Chain A
Amino acid sequence: MADLSKYRSEIGSWLEANCPSDLLGLSMTAIEGPWGGKKWVPDYDSQRAWLERCADKGLTAPTWPTEYGGGGLDKAEAKVLSQEMRRLRVPPPLIGFGLTMIGPTLLQFGTEEQKREHLPRITRGEIRWCQGYSEPGAGSDLAALQTRAVDDGDAFVISGTKVWTSYADKADWIFALVRTDPDAKKQEGITFILIDMDDPGVSVSPILLISGSSPFCETHFEDVRVPKSNVIAQINGGWTVAKALLGHERSMIAETFGTGAGQRRQTMADRAKGYVGADAEGRLADPALRERLAQLELDTRAFSLTVQRSTDAAKAGHNPGPESSIFKMYGTELNQRRQELLVSMLGPNALGWEGPGFEEAELSVTRDWLRSRGNTIEGGTSEVQRNIVAKRVLGLPD
């Protein structure tokens, strides 16, 4: 404990001394987010300096081993770091799928050479990654994917189309599932492979969503030659890797949405009072809305406590309990309810698309509500999640 408080004061002083002052207090929504990558254009010039200072100190990937550019911190130290960052209102130096998805996967399944090639470039924000899983004919039934990888000596030649590749138009590399054995049972002929998107034959077209934004793309592969050294784990052994990575993705989605992280400082109750007023006792004037808000906040609290229980159990050395299987499903459904309640709270002010007469925060509510409808589809639909829990946790028969 003494060591932890020493670390706390050291890292606190370092953050204060090194974080550029124009970044202090900026929320994730105020800037597009420091995704890094070759095409990255920071909103603030100082973001690049902040990223470099943190990368030099291993703070972009605090728990990764130092030899790959990480900080080598244990979980307790990493928690102190994030507490200090929150306290000092220091923004994250780097975010993205490199840190949250492919990095942990490489640490688990990659060869030494693969780790040394890719992990340092992730921690320095040099390469931005995207994920190539779903296809036009393989959504919930992911294992039905058809993108072909034909053996050609020391390389595979890849052809096919991936959909819902998040930010593929801004990414430098893609980790993808491809079919290497069309004759095997469908889960058994799949390989997990890394592809440089600058390679000839890769093209990207953004998809316009109902929310008006285009976070997703279609990514096309036309006879793209990829060296076999880019295969992660075994050829035809990609399904195991994919499942592990989906675990990382689902816990990330659950954490992002379910606990209300990244919500504005003003409470929902205060916002609601601004739209529907308060009664003589200072309570939200509309009792029906009050009841809905209380239900949502109770559910949010129960969900956060469950995430905490799971973390505490892991820290105490227990295996992940059955509670973690519900996080993705419940967290995303909770977020949808939160967005719908915000729309209800705003009333007609929630109907803005753009332009005058609507506040910036109101326009965000509208867009966020539309975007949230995808939460229960991406990363495994809620229905697929329920099937998984029914089978693996409850042991119900097929």
Chain B
Amino acid sequence: MQLVLSEDQELIAKTAADFAAEHSPVSRFRELRDAGDPIGYSPKLWKEMADLGWVGIPFPEEYGGADLGLSELAVVLEALGRSLAPEPFLSTVLLGGQALLLGGSDAQKKDWLPGIAAGEKIVTVAYQEATSRFDLHAVETRAEAADGGYRLSGEKIQVLDAPSADAFLVSARISGEARDAAGIGLFLVPKDAAGITVVPQTRVDHRAAGLLRLDGVVVPADAVVGEPGEAGALLERVVDRATAGLCAEMLGGMCQAFDLTLTHLKEREQFGSLIGSFQALKHRAVDVFTELELARSTVMAAVRALDADAPDASSLVSVAKARCSDAYVLATNEGVQMFGGVGMTDEYDIGFYMKRARAAELTFGDAAFHRDRFARLAGY
């Protein structure tokens, strides 16, 4: 495993950075937030990203993808994370798309992946419930056998990009107790299925999400993704990949938050001096910088390990998510503090990063969760 960008990856990174600077400055995210549109991103820009080949990066060519890896996707996500671009990579490329790719039947893949890769279909995963916290196996939504298929009942929360989703992959319990790994199914449910209600939710980071209510939704047997009852393991694999992708986005966000802070330290004068000359702030800035450098290494290692199917990939994902969660929160907390009063105003962008840091931290497990998972995987 080489922890260095290849020439191709450098080129993708450069293209993505230029694109983000031209088409997706933070002001665009601010406008979307102000408009209060529940979709929360620009479908037109999403289509452009797909036309550039980014949306299809991790999908095979037969489904319209580029057949590249998470290592390539990560450099795009980092660049977009810098400018808080809210397009639905996480929900539809990393969650929905990866679940179909890793677990879907040939028919399911043929039906959905080309549309996803082309930027025309949104497929998200509804895995989270009111009491599940970070446990993917804590599933109380029920799947009962009915008419040769299943009848789904329950409620999912904070389903990413639910307002714009064309289909949902819903985890539901076929058998077993509320927290058993076994007995979970993953069901493909189109948005217009009878008995579905989507209620948009407004989150602190203003990324689109929604409640998904399933009131006796009937799906055929071929709506199951993977083997019935074995979605627990599939979800673990999918969420590992999604987590690594999220970490890349977080890396971009924390680096940009730090750059904003560093610029402020070099421009703001108090007591007749630039505040960046004060040692109390210098040393803290160095500590943030240190965390960012360590975070970058862990993200690069995690995506490469996943691409190589390395035996320690899950462990490295936990290393990366624990580190990125802490580092993004640190960089943005320190950013707001060093900006001082203006850091508390809505007018300044640093607050957006602080909110996104928290939302990302609490997605797929926070730092403490991943430290515990790392220990468990290491046998203690």
Contacts and interface: CB of A to CB of B under 8 A. Distances in A.
Asked whether A and B interact, the reply is yes
A340 to B, nearest CB: 18
A326 interface: yes
Interface in A299-330: 299, 301-303, 305-306, 308-309, 312-313, 315-316, 318, 322-323, 326, 329-330
Contacts of B319: 298, 301-302, 305
Nearest to B262: A394
Contact of A326 (B2, B262, B277, B293): B293
A390 B285 contact: yes
B379 A282 contact: yes
B294 A303 contact: yes
Interface in B285-307: 285-287, 289-290, 293-298, 300-301
User: Interface residue tally of chain A, by bracket?
Assistant: 35 or more
A329 B4 contact: no
A389 interface: yes
6 contacts: A267-B378, A283-B380, A290-B380, A291-B371, A294-B371, A316-B4
B151 interface: no
Nearest to B289: A394
Contacts, number: 124
A138 interface: no
B266 A390 contact: no
A116 interface: no
A386 interface: yes
Interface string B80-116: 0000000000000000000000000000000000000
A309 B300 CA distance: 9
B183 to A, nearest CB: 21
Contacts of B379: 269, 282
Interface string B106-137: 00000000000000000000000000000000
B290 A326 contact: yes
Interface residues of B, number: 39
Contact of A389 (B286, B316, B323): B286
B282 interface: yes
Contact of B297 (A293, A306, A318, A386): A306
B310 interface: no
Interface in A353-398: 383, 386-387, 389-390, 393-398
A284 interface: yes
Interface in B261-281: 262, 265-266, 274, 276-277, 279
Contacts of B282: 386-387, 390, 394, 396
A329 B290 contact: yes
A255 interface: no
B283 interface: yes
A69 B295 CA distance: 41
A291 B372 contact: yes
A311 B300 CA distance: 14
A380 B279 CA distance: 17
Contacts of A306: 293-294, 296-297
A396 B3 contact: no
A295 interface: yes
Contacts of B285: 390, 394, 396
Interface in B170-192: none
B380 A309 contact: no
Interface string B305-316: 000000000001
Contact of B293 (A323, A390, A395): A323
A291 B368 contact: yes
Interface in B335-380: 368, 371-372, 374-376, 378-380
Interface string A14-35: 0000000000000000000000
A153 B294 CA distance: 53
Contact of B283 (A269, A290, A312, A383): A383
A181 interface: no
A303 B301 CA distance: 12
A290 B375 contact: yes
B286 A293 contact: no
A385 B319 CA distance: 26
B286 A390 contact: yes
Given A293-B380, A294-B375, A306-B293, A397 B286 contact: no
Contacts of B289: 322, 326, 389, 393-394
Contacts of B371: 291, 294-295, 298
Nearest to B322: A298
Contacts of A315: 4
A290 B286 CA distance: 28
B143 to A, nearest CB: 29
Nearest to B376: A283
Given A269-B375, A291-B371, A386-B283, 9 more contacts: A293-B375, A298-B319, A299-B294, A302-B298, A305-B294, A309-B297, A313-B3, A329-B286, A397-B276
A99 interface: no
A315 B3 CA distance: 11
A235 B105 CA distance: 76
A397 B293 contact: no
A396 B298 contact: no
Contacts of B374: 294, 297-298
Given A293-B375, A297-B378, A322 B293 contact: yes
A289 to B, nearest CB: 10
Tell me which of B294, B298, B368 has the highest count of chain A C-beta atoms within 10 A of its own C-beta. Answer: B294
A272 interface: yes
A395 B259 CA distance: 12
A269 B374 CA distance: 12
A390 B283 contact: yes
Contacts of B3: 305, 308-309, 312-313
Contacts of B296: 306, 309, 323
A169 to B, nearest CB: 36
A273 interface: yes
Contacts of A284: 375, 380
A393 B288 CA distance: 13
A350 B367 CA distance: 30
A301 B276 CA distance: 31
Interface string B251-262: 000000000001
Tell me which of B290, B301, B323 has the highest count of chain A C-beta atoms within 10 A of its own C-beta. Answer: B290
Contacts of A383: 283
A297 B368 CA distance: 13
A85 to B, nearest CB: 22
A387 to B, nearest CB: 7
Nearest to A323: B293
A101 B3 CA distance: 28
